[in-house]
Structure 1
Amino acid sequence: AEAWRRHGARLLERIEGRFALAVVDGKGEGLVATDRHGAVPVCWAEEGGALRFATRADALARACGAALDPQALLHYLHFHVVPAPGTVFRGVRRLLPGHCLRIAEGRVRAGAWWTPRFGTHAARVPATREELFGRLRAAVRGALEGAAAPGAFLSGGTDSSAVAGIAAAIHGEGFPAFSIGFDAPGYDELGYARAAARHFGLEHHTHYLTPEEVAEAVPRIARHFDQPFGNASVVAAWRCAELARAAGVDRLLAGDGGDELFGGNARYRRQQALALYGRLPRPLRAALIDPLARPQGPGPLRKLARYVEQARRDPVERLEDYNLLRRLGPARVLHPELLEAVDTGRPLALRAEAFHGALADDDLDRMLAMDLRFTLADDDLQKVGGACGLAGVDVAFPMLDGAVVAFACALPPRLKATPWRLRPFYKRAMRGFLPRRILAKRKHGFGLPFGIWLTRHEGLRRLAFESLEALEARRIVAPGFLRELTRERVAEHPAYYGVMVWVLMMLSQWLEAHEAPGGASG
C-alpha cells in the first residue's frame, strides 16, 4: 500500500518475476495487475456496477453465473488453449500479459503497463557474451532467493541446461535437477539431460513416464485447470514437478522463454529464408526471379515458384498454414450449431493484431512478440505454472527476468535467426559453458508420445475414445468428424491426428469435471 501511495501504477515496474497484484486505497482508487508475461493469470468481470477479480476463471464464472462462450470454444480448438483477453466463460475476461486494471472515479480501465520493445524501440545494450551471462546470473540468483530447497527442470535443451548450470555454479555442486523420459523412439531426450547433469555436477533425478500414468493424470489435470488446456506436455511437467516435490524441493527453476526471446523455433529460420525475397530490389525480382518461378516447370523451378508464392503472403496467414484446425477445416470439425454461432476468422485476427501491433521494425521480431503472447503467456507458462501448482511446488522463470528480456529484445534479428541457423548469438555465447552435444541438438522439450501410445495402450485408447464419445452430445464437434477421427485417422497417422484426439479428450474431461453444459448456445 505504501508503494502504491508513493509510486502509483509505476510500482509495477519495480516488481520482478511472476505475480498478481491488487491494491485499493481508501478513496476507492486502485490497481489490479498481472506480471509482464501473464504467468499468474488475473481474470475479471464487471457485474451490477461491481468489479470482481480472481486468479481462476471458473471461480469468477461461478460467482457471476457465467455460461460458456461459443467463440472461446472455437479458440480452444484452434489454439489448444483459450487465449487472453478472453476466457471460456462469457463475460469473464483475463488480463493480457503486462496489463492491469486501473480503478478511478468509479470506472475500470484495462491497459498495458509493460510491452516488449524490439529493435529501435528498445534501449541499447552491449551485445556481448559477458553482458548476457551477467544478466542471466543475476536472474538465476534472484530466482533462487527465498527458496529453502530449490531445484530445476532439465529437459536437456539449451535453456533448461543453462539455467540449471548457472544455478549449480551459484548454489554449489549437487544442485538437484529433474527430467522425464519416454520409452518411445524419437521422443526420449534423457541422454541430453544426463549429459548436462554430468557436465554441471547436478544431482539428477529421472523418471520414465508410462501410458498408465498418463491415463491416471488426465482427469486430475482437467479438474485442476480453470479452463480447458490442450498441451499434452503438461503431463510430463506435472510428473516432473511431483518428482521434485518428493525429493523435498520447494521451488523449480524453468527455462521457458528462451525460444521466444533468442530465436529457437524452426519457423523463425523459415521466416528469415522467406524474408530474403522481400529484401531483393523489386526490379531484380521482376526481371530474374519471378519469370523463373513456374509452377509447371521442372523440379527446381516448381520449388522456386512455391517459395515465391509463400514469400508474397502475409506472414501471419503463412504461419496459420500449420494450424491443425485450419488444415482440417472448421466446417469439417465443428458441429453445425457451433459453426453458426462463431466467427471462424477471429483466431487469425487475434494473431494478426499481436503481430502487426508489436513495437518492432522487423517481421522476425514481430513473430517473436506474437509468440511471447500466444505460445509463451497463454500456453507454456500456464502449463508449467499449472503443473507445479498441482504438484505443490513453486516455480520461477529466470529467462523472463526483465533485464534478460530487455537484452534479447534489443538484439538485431540476424543474431536471433538466419535462413541457416537458429539462435546464432545465444549458441555462440554458450560455447564452452554448455556441452557441445546440447548446443548441436534439435529442439524437443517434454513432448508426449500420446499418438503412438494411443495405438498401443488399450487403457489410454479407451479413456480417449470414451471421452470423445461423451463429447458428441455437447454439440461442439461434428459427430461425423469424431467417428472419422477414432475409426480411421488415428490409425493412419497417430502422431498427427493424436494431437486432435488429445485436445478433444481434454475438453471433454474438463467439461465433465467442471459440470459445464457445453454446446453452441453455452
Structure 2
Amino acid sequence: MTPLPGLRGAWWLALPRTAANELEHHAPVVTRHPCGRPWVLGAPGPVTTAGAGAVRAVAIGELLAQEGEFAAALRAAAACGDFDALMGFPGSYTVLVSAPGRMLLYCDAAGLRPLYTARCAHGVVAGDRARLLAALAGAGLDEVWAAGRLCAPDVPSAIRTTRSPYRGVAPVPAGCRAVLGAEEPRARIARYWHPPAPVLPLEEGARRVRAALAEAVAGRARRSRDPVCVALSGGMDSAALAALAAEAVGPGRLRLVTLPSAASGDLPWAHKVAAHLGAPLEVLDDAPDLFAGLPGVLPTTDEPPPAAGAARIARLARAAGSGPHLNGQGGDEVVGVPLAHLRHLVRAPRRGFLRHLRGHAALHNTTSAALLRHALAPASPSRWARTAAAHLDTAPDALGAAMGWEAHPRLASWATLRARRLVAAALTHAPLNPWADLATHAALARIRTSAAAAATYRQAMAGIGGPEPAFPFLDRPVVEACLAVRPEARSDPWRAKPLLAAALRPLLPDPVLERSTKASYTTDVHQGWARHRSHLLGLLSEPHLAQAGLVNADRLHGALERWGAAGPAPAYVTGLVGLELWARSVLGEAVAC
C-alpha cells in the first residue's frame, strides 16, 4: 500500500468495517467498530467515545459536554435511529457513528473541522486530512480547486463545498452529514443543521450571545491547569475572549500575547484591555516581517497556509505555551452582518429603517436612493452565479457585490483563460443552494470562509510544533446565538458590532466597546514585500502553477515587478504566493500533470 504521509498535529482516518486490517500496522487504532475491526486510526487529539448496543460513536475535538452526557445522547439517538442531536453540544468537534450497515460522519456547522471522503482500495474512507486520503487514493491536484484559489476575496462556495485540493477527495460541507453505506460507491451528503430564524431583539440576543460565548471560553479554560493564552490584537473580538477568560479563571492565569503591526493602531488598545483586566501583556516586538523566511518556514498543510505570515505564526507558537490558546478569528463574520440584510429590511421596514439606510449610504459613499435601488434589484441565486461567472475579469459594482449571495469572486490579471473557464464552469454548473434567506446565506458564506482559514491556521500552528488554537466564535451555539438576532440589530452604521458590545458591556470599558476604527494590515503587507521583494521574485520565477496552465508566467512577473500600493489588492499577491509555494512543497512536479 502507499505509505501514509508524515503528519504533524492531530489527525484521524475512519475505515469502513470491510477495510483490510493492514492499515492497522501504519497508524495507531483509536477505537474499533462494534464488531472489533479497526475503525478510527491516527492521533486525533481529544476523543470522547460511547456505545449503545450495536452502535458506537466517537466525538473528535473540543466536546464541551459533562461526563456521561454524550453517552446518554447516543442511547437516545440509537433508540430512534436519528443521530443529529449528537452535534448539539457546546464546543467544536466532529462526530462519527458506526451503526449496522452504515457509517455516519458529521461536519460542524461552521466548517472549522474539515471532513473528507475518498474511495480507495479499502472502500470509502473518511478523514480530516485531504492529503492523507489523496495518498490512499492515489489522487492528484484538482485543478478546478486550484483555479478557485486564485480568486479574491474568497473562493466561491460552488468550489469550496464540492472540491478539495485533490481529485476524488470530496469535502463534506459544513453543517452536513455523510452516510457511507456498506456497498455504496460514494458518500451520501445531506444537511442536518439549519440556521435559526433571525427574530430576536438586541437585548435578548445579547444575553444569549454572552452566555454562549462565555460557555465556549470557560469550557476550554477550566479544562486545563496551564495558563490560558489569548492572541490579543486589541480589537473587540479578542478583547471579548480575554475578558471572558479572566472571568472564568481569573487574571492570574491569563496570558495576553500580541503581534505589533506597523500601522494598524491596535497596540494601544491591547494595552488598554490588558490594564483593565489586570493581566500581563507580552508584546512580541521581535516578530519577523511578513514574507520573511519563505519557503523554509512554511508548514505542511492540506490547503495553502498563510504564507506571508508564516514566520509570525511560528513566533506566536513559541510564545503561546502549552495551555489553551484562544483566537478571535471568526468574530467579525459571526457577530457582524453583510450589507445584503438591507434587501429584506426594505421589504419589511422596521422602526429605524431610514436611519439604517442613510447611515449605510454614508459609509459606502453613495446616496440613499442608490442604495435603495440596489436593495430592490433582482437577486436570485442563479442570477448571482451567472453574473459572477461572466464578470471574473472585471471589478464588480461595489454596492451590488456587497448585496450579493456571496462575495463576488474576481481573478487577477495573471490567471489564464483556462483558469477563468474552470471557475466560470464551476459557478454555473454547481447551482447555489441557499441555506436560508439571502442575508443569512451571505452571513454563513462569510463565516465558513473564515472557518476554512482558521482550520488551515490551526494546521499551520501544529505543523510548527505550536499548540492547537481554539476559535470560540465558530462554536455552533455562538453562531446560532448571533444568527438568531435580527440583522438590523446586529448592524449599526454608527457603531461597531452593537451586538457584541451589548453582550460585553459589564466586562470591558466603554472606550473599547465604542471603538470606531478598524485595523488594517495592508501597510504591513507592502512593507514586508518591499523588504523581501528580490527573494520573492526569485521564488516565483518559474511558477508550477504556470506549468499547470493556471497562471501566465509573463503577466505574473510583470505585475509583481511593478506591484505596490496602486497594484492588485494584497489578497491576490499573498494568495498567489501561498498557493504556489504550497503546490511546490506538497505536490512537487505532480502539479504539472
Give the TM-score category using the shorter length: 0.7 to 0.9
1:32 partner letter: L
Match of 2:191?
112
Q: Is the contact made by 1:43 and 1:57 (CA closer than 8 Å) also made in structure 2?
A: yes
Deviation at 1:75, TM superposition (A): 0.9
1:207 aligns with 2:284: yes
RMSD: 3.6
Q: Is the contact made by 2:96 and 2:103 (CA closer than 8 Å) also made in structure 1?
A: yes
1:319 aligns with 2:401: yes
Match of 2:447?
372
- Provide TM-score, normalisation by structure 2: 0.70
Q: Is the contact made by 1:415 and 1:423 (CA closer than 8 Å) also made in structure 2?
A: no
Of the candidates 90, 96, 111, which is equivalent to residue 22 of structure 1? 96
1:258 partner letter: G
Q: Is the contact made by 1:236 and 1:446 (CA closer than 8 Å) also made in structure 2?
A: no
Q: Is the contact made by 1:272 and 1:419 (CA closer than 8 Å) also made in structure 2?
A: no
Deviations 1:217-261, CA, capped at 9 Å, x for gaps: 65433x42112245755654553233113xxx3221222333223
Give me the whole-angstrom Cα distance separating, in 2, the residues matched to 1:234 and 1:148.
Answer: 29
Match of 1:284?
none
Deviation at 1:2, TM superposition (A): 0.7
Q: Is the contact made by 2:92 and 2:476 (CA closer than 8 Å) also made in structure 1?
A: no
Deviations 1:12-71, CA, capped at 9 Å, x for gaps: 22443222343435x442222332322221221123571122221112112211111121
1:114 partner letter: W
Matches within 5 A, 1:23-102: 23-25=97-99, 27-47=100-120, 50-79=123-152, 83-102=160-179
Matches within 5 A, 1:294-305: none
Give me the whole-angstrom Cα distance separating, in 2, the residues matched to 1:131 and 1:326.
Answer: 34
Q: Is the contact made by 2:291 and 2:310 (CA closer than 8 Å) also made in structure 1?
A: no
2:379 partner letter: D
Give me the whole-angstrom Cα distance separating, in 2, the residues matched to 1:324 and 1:235.
Answer: 29
Give me the whole-angstrom Cα distance separating, in 1, the residues matched to 2:499 and 2:291.
Answer: 38
Match of 1:466?
538
1:333 aligns with 2:414: yes
Range with greater deviation from structure 2 (508-517 or 152-161): 508-517
- Provide TM-score, normalisation by structure 1: 0.79
Deviation at 1:188, TM superposition (A): 4.5
2:587 partner letter: E
When residues 103 and 388 of structure 1 are mapped into structure 2, their CA distance, relative to the original with a 3 A threshold, is: same
Deviations 1:76-123, CA, capped at 9 Å, x for gaps: 111566723311111111221122222335233222232322326x9x
Runs of 5+ consecutive residues of structure 2 not aligned to the other structure = 1-49, 57-74, 350-364, 389-399
Match of 2:51?
2
| SS of the residue 1:36 aligns to | coil
Q: Is the contact made by 2:205 and 2:481 (CA closer than 8 Å) also made in structure 1?
A: no
Of the candidates 551, 563, 573, which is equivalent to residue 501 of structure 1? 573
Give me the whole-angstrom Cα distance separating, in 1, the residues matched to 2:301 and 2:518.
Answer: 24
2:560 partner letter: T
Q: Is the contact made by 1:176 and 1:204 (CA closer than 8 Å) also made in structure 2?
A: yes
Deviations 1:363-394, CA, capped at 9 Å, x for gaps: 43332122122x22222343245335534312
2:556 partner letter: L
Of the candidates 214, 236, 240, which is equivalent to residue 162 of structure 1? 240
1:171 aligns with 2:236: no
Match of 2:584?
512
When residues 348 and 435 of structure 1 are mapped into structure 2, their CA distance, relative to the original with a 3 A threshold, is: farther
Give me the whole-angstrom Cα distance separating, in 2, the residues matched to 1:482 and 1:443.
Answer: 34
Give me the whole-angstrom Cα distance separating, in 2, the residues matched to 1:506 and 1:24.
Answer: 38
When residues 480 and 262 of structure 1 are mapped into structure 2, their CA distance, relative to the original with a 3 A threshold, is: same
Match of 2:527?
453
When residues 442 and 304 of structure 1 are mapped into structure 2, their CA distance, relative to the original with a 3 A threshold, is: closer
Range with greater deviation from structure 2 (163-172 or 212-221): 212-221
When residues 71 and 391 of structure 1 are mapped into structure 2, their CA distance, relative to the original with a 3 A threshold, is: same
When residues 154 and 19 of structure 1 are mapped into structure 2, their CA distance, relative to the original with a 3 A threshold, is: same
Q: Is the contact made by 2:209 and 2:478 (CA closer than 8 Å) also made in structure 1?
A: yes
Larger RCO (CA within 8 A; separation ≥ 6): 1
Of the candidates 481, 489, 496, which is equivalent to residue 555 of structure 2? 481
Identity %: 21
State how many pairs are aligned: 476
Q: Is the contact made by 2:94 and 2:107 (CA closer than 8 Å) also made in structure 1?
A: yes
1:499 partner letter: A
Give me the whole-angstrom Cα distance separating, in 2, the residues matched to 1:28 and 1:499.
Answer: 46
Deviation at 1:512, TM superposition (A): 1.5
Q: Is the contact made by 1:83 and 1:378 (CA closer than 8 Å) also made in structure 2?
A: no
Match of 1:346?
426
1:390 aligns with 2:500: no
Of the candidates 428, 431, 435, which is equivalent to residue 358 of structure 1? 435
1:244 aligns with 2:311: no
